[in-house]
């Protein structure tokens, strides 16, 4: 099974004192040992935000800020690479072609950002589309897709499942609210929609949840099921039986 896992920066590195990087590495190793092909895309988290704020203060323009953000995502990717064993590409690929080559060679691929004016949410969806992944998993700090921003609205309800075009509409509505935090951004949602990619959005603060979702389809997040895909299982164990 080909899986792309998107790991939010704040989920991977809530702080350097946490063991989260090693826990995520352990999950990737478990799935790779199962025989999954794993592409991981890592976000920038707090460190990226702090660098971007400092550079904005100094007068950097938006493209320069994005480039700094990309550098931090790649630095975070290197931290995850350092925690993985030998079957991982030693540096984060900077293009989808290179990432695809790493995966075709049977190695784990860990990458960060690719180009300005987007986030790693979109990179994850694009990588999944490029390598024709069976499943895309977003391990985020928001435990699924909600009908409103759960941090702003106590009545926000989580969807167990949603179609890709419903996802686009929900994210577009959430992003209309300034300062709101959507579980994935609109560009990512649009790529998921056009590619028909099976996607799961889940709480990545406990990395083991990724293993259960990929192996057994067992999770408490949201299944994004593109139109026409029906009830085919998302998961590895059933597919291999
Ligand atoms: P993130 O993917 O972590 O962005 O990349 P984010 O969604 O804003 O961060 P979280 O998930 O809320 O923590 C960090 C920054 O790096 C730049 C953007 O500026 C982004 O905000 N970036 C990242 C790019 O410009 N291009 C990329 O391909 C990736």
Q: How far is the CA of 55 from the centre of ligand 1 (A)?
A: 15
Structure tokens, 99: 């990432």
Task: Give the position, in ligand 1's atom list, of the atom nearest the Cα of 8.
Answer: 11
**Per-residue model confidence (pLDDT) at position 101:** 98
**Per-residue model confidence (pLDDT) at position 179:** 64
CA pair distance 174, 167, nearest whole angstrom: 11
Angle at which helices 120-130 and 186-195 cross, to 10°:
10
Structure tokens, 104: 């075709």
pLDDT tens digits, one per residue of 52-68: 999 999 999 999 999 99
Domains of the chain: 2-225 (3.40.1160.10)
Q: Hey, whose CA ends up nearest to atom 20 of ligand 1? A: 119
Quick one: CA dihedral 94, 128, 189, 49, positive or negative? negative
**Per-residue model confidence (pLDDT) at position 241:** 43
Q: How far is the CA of 206 from the centre of ligand 1 (A)?
A: 22
Q: How far is the CA of 233 from the centre of ligand 1 (A)?
A: 31
**Per-residue model confidence (pLDDT) at position 229:** 74
Ligand 1 binding pocket, CB closer than 6 Å:
8-10, 43-45, 48, 65-66, 69-70, 73, 113-121, 123
Q: How far is the CA of 70 from the centre of ligand 1 (A)?
A: 7
pLDDT tens digits, one per residue of 135-184: 999 999 989 999 988 888 889 999 999 999 999 999 998 877 766 678 99
Task: Give the position, in ligand 1's atom list, of the atom nearest the Cα of 43.
Answer: 3
């Amino acid at each position: 099974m080909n899986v792309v896992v998107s790991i939010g920066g704040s989920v991977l590195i809530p702080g350097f004192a946490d063991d989260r990087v090693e826990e995520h590495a352990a999950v990737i190793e478990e799935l790779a040992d199962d025989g999954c092909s794993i592409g991981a895309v890592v976000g920038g988290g707090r460190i990226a935000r702090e660098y971007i704020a400092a550079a904005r203060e100094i007068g950097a323009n938006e493209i320069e800020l994005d480039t700094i953000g990309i550098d931090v995502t790649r630095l975070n990717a290197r931290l995850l690479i350092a925690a993985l064993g030998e079957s991982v590409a030693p540096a984060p690929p900077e293009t989808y072609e290179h990432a695809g080559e790493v995966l075709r060679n049977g190695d784990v691929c860990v990458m960060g950002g690719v180009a300005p004016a987007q986030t790693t949410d979109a990179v994850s969806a694009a990588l999944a589309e490029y390598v024709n992944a069976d499943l895309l998993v977003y391990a985020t700090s928001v435990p699924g897709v909600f009908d409103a921003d759960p941090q702003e609205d106590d009545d926000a309800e989580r969807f167990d499942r949603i179609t890709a075009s419903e996802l686009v509409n929900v994210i577009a509505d959430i992003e209309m609210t300034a300062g709101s935090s959507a579980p994935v951004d609109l560009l990512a949602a649009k790529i998921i929609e056009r590619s028909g990619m099976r996607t799961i959005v889940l709480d990545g603060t406990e990395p083991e949840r990724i293993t259960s979702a990929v192996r057994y389809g067992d999770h408490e997040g949201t299944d994004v099921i593109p139109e026409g895909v029906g009830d085919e299982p998302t998961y590895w164990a059933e597919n291999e039986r």
